[in-house]
């Protein structure tokens, strides 16, 4: 009877979820509220209007349905003025990217040159497509590695629809004996990512015996590389495809390169995925179905989010598809209607928790991009950074946090410190980390001012500087939670970049001749520098750019340790 009641409860919940998106929309709306429409605490309306006017030119483009779906602040629902291009000032006030800052000292192609000159990803000696070892894979192995992929990588980056994959894509690949077709390519990359995900689950103590592969190639050094190489062989005959599955293949391949700490290769895959996405949205057919539109929306925003990170950190050009952002709706995670469901069975990835998280991280990326555009390209005048703009961005970030759906709510004074499930490490912890890193970046220009013009700081400025450094320390503690599943972290390269930039800033503050400036980083201790260096050292084995950063960081941390 208890089981029957539970099934009824699940079925009822599923019906409500599929019948209407209203509940989700209402919850998502509350995440940001109407920030621009709300009355400011300041009683001076003229000042409020001047702040809004100062910020307006830096608004990222608004998604088409941002007024319907969560995570998008209200300031993104009005004007859709283009974000400014790279600053024309050869000496901008401060660079958003630590690597771009190093470029000014070591040449314009510092990190990009190091990454581009590295050896190619290794491939097997044999190029025979009829690989016998694939035919020896059991259905159980394929199912197990697929399950691992969906419980790891797909949670935060839902490139694939789980129901479509298991009830259509996987079957086509198996029936065709992994021949030359896009389904085979997708399944093989899923196997590769599943192998990485399995290692990540073991790292965190969440997995038992791993699935075994009958082929022993480069797997010992890079889990899943044998599967990935087989996918690359086949896709060579499909490289001109532009459809949904081709876009998915590029994004999945990009995740593999990201895990291998190969950001240039990742960018190449994102560029191709962006081209597929732009092709679809520029050639919409009249008989399009809602599921296809929603899936394409998913892929577009995943591509856009990762592309923003890559282009901002490295000397890499963004695609031309960014102008589509104002026309493309945010995804609603519609279920495929032409595929039968097994009763009330529900895939883990269908949980609205993960949908809310995906939309929330999109909103955060838009807020962070706005902070970058509005704070990091001002000329270093006496009032740089503009304090009203800082305060407004902090207010909007706090409203983003406070209006998250209940299941995503968290107290910044007690962030996550331990992962009790994969979703804690791969989803929850990242939401907390994004909050703290945004607090830090909004405060970074003021830290720059503390170094350039220390005499201009008031006690209020010093308090804000200490808050920014405290955000660094809180971010580090949350990143350590994500690091429990290090083999499932596509953002490792950028975490390393963040850490390196933080080390540079903290070092500069710690050696200031002014005691009140050194006091800003008084809470930074040996525990933090040990974490920072260990994280960089782990990445240095796989990335020449991170290796270079690690060498510099070791020297800087020797003096930081004397604080």
Domain ranges of the chain: 2-92+351-489, 132-296
Q: What is the mean pLDDT of residues 362-377?
A: 85
pLDDT in tens, 335-354: 887 665 544 445 665 688 88
* Count of beta carbons in the 10 Å neighbourhood of residue 390: 18
- Specify the pLDDT at position 366: 85
Residues 53-77: tens digit of each pLDDT: 444 444 555 566 554 444 443 433 3
Band of residue 82 on the pLDDT scale cut at 50, 70, 90: very low
Is the pLDDT confidence value at 525 over 50? yes
Least confident of 87-91, 135-139, 481-485: 87-91
* Residue 99 pLDDT exceeds 90: no
- Global pTM reads 0.82
Give the Cα separation of 184 and 190 in Å (integer). 10
Task: Report the SS3 class of residue 153.
Answer: helix
Share of the chain above pLDDT 90, in %: 56
| Chain mean pLDDT for the chain | 80
> Is the pLDDT confidence value at 22 over 90?
no
Q: Is the model's pLDDT at 100 over the cut of 90?
A: no
Q: What is the pLDDT of residue 42?
A: 46
How would you class 464 by CB atoms within 10 Å of its CB: exposed for 0-12, middle for 13-18, buried for 19 or more?
buried
Residue 347, pLDDT score: 62
**Which letter, b or e, does each residue of 395-431 get, where b requires 16 or more Cβ atoms within 10 Å of its Cβ?**
ebbebbbebbbeebebeeeebbeebeebbbbbbbbbb
pLDDT digits (tens, 9 = 90+) for 277-327: 999 998 887 777 899 999 999 999 999 999 988 988 888 888 877 788 888
**pLDDT of 333 above 50:** yes
**pLDDT by residue (tens digit) across 383-435?**
778 888 999 999 999 999 998 988 899 999 988 889 999 999 999 999 999 99
- Listed residue (160, 191, 189, 155) closest to 421, CA to CA: 155
Residue 130 pLDDT grade (very low, low, confident, very high; cuts 50, 70, 90): low
Most confident of 39-53, 209-223, 405-419, 497-511: 497-511
pLDDT at residue 86 in the model: 40
Q: What's the pLDDT score for residue 268?
A: 96
The values of phi and psi at residue 140, to 5°, are: -60, -40
Q: In the predicted model, is pLDDT for residue 271 greater than 70?
A: yes
Per residue in 527-549, pLDDT (tens digit) is 999 999 999 999 999 999 999 99
* pLDDT value at residue 49: 47
Tell me the C-alpha to C-alpha distance, in Å, between residue 490 and each of 12, 118, 245, 462: 36, 19, 21, 35
């Amino acid at each position: 009877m208890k089981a029957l009641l539970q099934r009824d409860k699940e079925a009822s919940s599923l019906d409500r979820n599929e019948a209407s998106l209203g509940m989700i929309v209402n919850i998502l709306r509350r995440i940001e509220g109407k920030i621009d429409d709300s009355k400011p605490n300041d009683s001076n309306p003229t000042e409020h209007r001047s702040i809004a006017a100062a910020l307006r030119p830096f608004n990222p483009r608004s998604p088409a349905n941002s007024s319907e779906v969560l995570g998008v602040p209200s300031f993104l629902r009005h004007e859709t003025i283009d974000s400014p291009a790279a600053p024309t000032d050869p000496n901008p006030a401060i660079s958003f990217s630590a690597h771009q800052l190093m470029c000014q000292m070591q040449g314009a192609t510092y990190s990009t040159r190091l990454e581009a000159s590295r050896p190619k990803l290794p491939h097997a000696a044999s190029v025979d497509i009829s690989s016998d070892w694939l035919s020896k894979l059991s259905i159980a192995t394929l199912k197990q590695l697929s399950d691992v992929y969906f419980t790891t990588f797909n949670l935060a980056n839902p490139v694939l629809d789980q129901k479509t994959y298991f009830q259509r894509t996987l079957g086509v690949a198996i029936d065709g004996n992994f021949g030359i077709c896009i389904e085979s390519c997708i399944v093989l990359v899923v196997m590769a990512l599943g192998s990485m995900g399995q290692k990540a689950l073991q790292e965190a103590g969440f997995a038992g015996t791993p699935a075994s592969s009958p082929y022993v190639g480069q797997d010992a050094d890079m889990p899943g590389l044998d599967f990935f190489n087989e996918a690359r062989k086949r896709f060579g005959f499909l490289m001109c495809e532009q459809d949904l599955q081709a876009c998915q293949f590029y994004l999945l391949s990009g995740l593999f390169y990201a895990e291998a700490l190969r950001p240039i290769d990742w960018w190449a895959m994102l560029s191709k995925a962006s081209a597929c996405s732009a092709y679809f949205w520029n050639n919409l057919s009249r008989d399009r179905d809602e599921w296809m539109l929603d899936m394409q929306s998913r892929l577009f925003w995943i591509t856009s989010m990762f592309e923003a990170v890559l282009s901002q950190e490295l000397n890499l050009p963004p695609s031309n598809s960014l102008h589509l952002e104002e026309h493309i709706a945010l995804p609603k995670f519609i279920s495929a209607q032409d595929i039968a469901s097994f009763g009330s069975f529900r895939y883990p990835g269908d949980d609205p928790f993960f949908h809310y998280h995906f939309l929330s991280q999109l909103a955060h990326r838009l807020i962070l991009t706005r902070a970058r555009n509005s704070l990091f390209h001002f000329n270093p005048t006496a009032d740089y950074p503009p304090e009203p703009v800082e305060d407004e961005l902090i207010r909007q970030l706090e409203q983003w946090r406070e209006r998250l759906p209940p299941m995503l709510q968290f107290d910044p004074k007690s962030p996550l410190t331990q992962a009790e499930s994969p979703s804690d490490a791969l989803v929850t912890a990242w939401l907390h980390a994004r909050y703290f890193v945004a607090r830090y970046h909004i405060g970074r220009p003021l830290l720059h001012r503390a170094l350039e013009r220390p005499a201009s700081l008031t006690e209020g400025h010093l308090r804000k500087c200490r808050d920014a450094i405290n955000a660094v320390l809180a971010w580090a503690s949350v990143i350590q939670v994500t690091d429990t599943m290090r083999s499932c972290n596509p953002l490792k390269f950028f975490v390393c970049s963040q850490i390196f930039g933080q080390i540079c800033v903290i070092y500069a503050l710690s050696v200031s001749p002014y005691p009140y400036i050194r006091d800003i980083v008084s809470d930074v201790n040996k525990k933090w520098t040990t974490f920072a260096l260990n994280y960089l050292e782990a990445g240095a084995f796989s990335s020449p750019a991170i290796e270079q950063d690690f060498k510099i960081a070791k020297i800087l941390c020797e003096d930081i340790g004397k604080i």
